Structure 1
Amino acid sequence: MYKKEEASQVRQAFWKAYGMYMALQLSAEGLKINWINYKTGVKYLNFKMDADKKHAYIHIHLSHPDIEIQQMMMEQFKAVEKLLQLHIQEEWEWKLHETDEHGNIYSFIGISIDNVNIFNQDDWPKLIQFFKPRMIALDAFWSEAQYAFDLFK
């Protein structure tokens, strides 16, 4: 069992390794980007990745504090769902108005995998193989769809 500080160091090591692995991958527009802290340019709309000792996920995360605007953002994603599907090539879960451990309401479109552990270095290749193609697909999708979200800037 890791202490809090040790767990933080392991997490940082994984994300550093992932960032180095992805560093040579250019965006869909041919630019060098930060794959870990992907900037969509729309406040409250993020591409979020995380992993713990049981599972990992990647989400389009909507966290606007006004839940009506959050719902409008989700509806805008529904309007471009075919384009998203073209890029991700798999079924993702759509959840409107979930509540996190701090009581904040958010919505997401995402996918997760079970039976992976960020604290087990043997699982790191599985995690990278999970995150990499999906982030590349989200980037390709976003390079085409971002203009449909200009009204939320």
Structure 2
Amino acid sequence: MYSKEQASQLKQAFWTAFGQYIAPHLSAEGLRTNWVNYKTGIKNLHFKMQADKKSASIAIEMSHPDPGIQELMFEQFLEFKNLLNASLNEEWEWQLHEQDENYKTLSRIVKTLPGVSIYKQEDWPELISFFKPRIIALDDFWSDAKDSFDTFK
């Protein structure tokens, strides 16, 4: 078991290593990108990568405080489902109005990798292999679709 500080240091070390590993890869538009803290340019719309002691996940997360706006964003993504699936080359789980661990209502499109731990350095290659192609695919999708989300800016 790790102390809170050790756990925090391991998480930070992983995200730093991942950021350094993926940094040379340019965005779909040929720009340098902060892949770990990806900016969509739309308030309350995030591409999130998370990992803990049991699993890892990558998600398109809609966190607008108004559930109606969240649903409109979700429906807009549904319009692009074929393009998204083609970019990702796989199906993700679609969740409308779920509650997170803080009881905040979110909608997300998510892919989870069970059975890995950010606290085990031997799992890091698997985590990187999970996150890297998916965040790059999300960026590729977003370069084509983002203009259709301008109403949510």
Aligned AA for 1:78? L
Number of the residue aligned with 1:138: 138
Query: Which segments of 5 or more consecutive residues in structure 1 lack a partner in the other structure?
Result: none
Q: CA deviation at 1:130?
A: 0.1
Larger deviation, residues 101-110 vs 59-68: 101-110
Number of the residue aligned with 1:52: 52
Q: CA deviation at 1:89?
A: 0.7
Q: CA deviation at 1:101?
A: 2.1
Number of the residue aligned with 1:86: 86
**CA distance, structure 1, for counterparts of residue 58 and residue 94 of structure 2:** 12
Aligned length: 153
Instruction: Name the TM-score, length of structure 1 as normaliser.
Output: 0.99
**CA distance, structure 2, for counterparts of residue 22 and residue 124 of structure 1:** 14
- Give the superposed CA RMSD: 0.5
**CA distance, structure 2, for counterparts of residue 102 and residue 110 of structure 1:** 18
Number of the residue aligned with 1:61: 61
Aligned AA for 1:14? F
**CA distance, structure 1, for counterparts of residue 91 and residue 48 of structure 2:** 17
Sequence identity of aligned pairs in percent?
Answer: 58
Number of the residue aligned with 2:38: 38
Cα deviation 1:60-116 (Å, max 9, x = unaligned): 000000000000000000011111111001010000001112221001001001111
Number of the residue aligned with 1:112: 112
**CA distance, structure 1, for counterparts of residue 50 and residue 144 of structure 2:** 25
**CA distance, structure 2, for counterparts of residue 102 and residue 53 of structure 1:** 18
- Mapping of 1:4-43 within 5 angstroms? 4-43=4-43
Query: Which segments of 5 or more consecutive residues in structure 2 lack a partner in the other structure?
Result: none
Moved over 6 A (4+): none
Number of the residue aligned with 1:123: 123
Q: CA deviation at 1:140?
A: 0.2
**SS of residue paired to 1:106:** strand
**CA distance, structure 1, for counterparts of residue 2 and residue 107 of structure 2:** 31
**CA distance, structure 2, for counterparts of residue 149 and residue 32 of structure 1:** 22
**CA distance, structure 2, for counterparts of residue 127 and residue 101 of structure 1:** 22
**CA distance, structure 1, for counterparts of residue 5 and residue 105 of structure 2:** 29
**SS of residue paired to 1:36:** coil
Number of the residue aligned with 1:148: 148
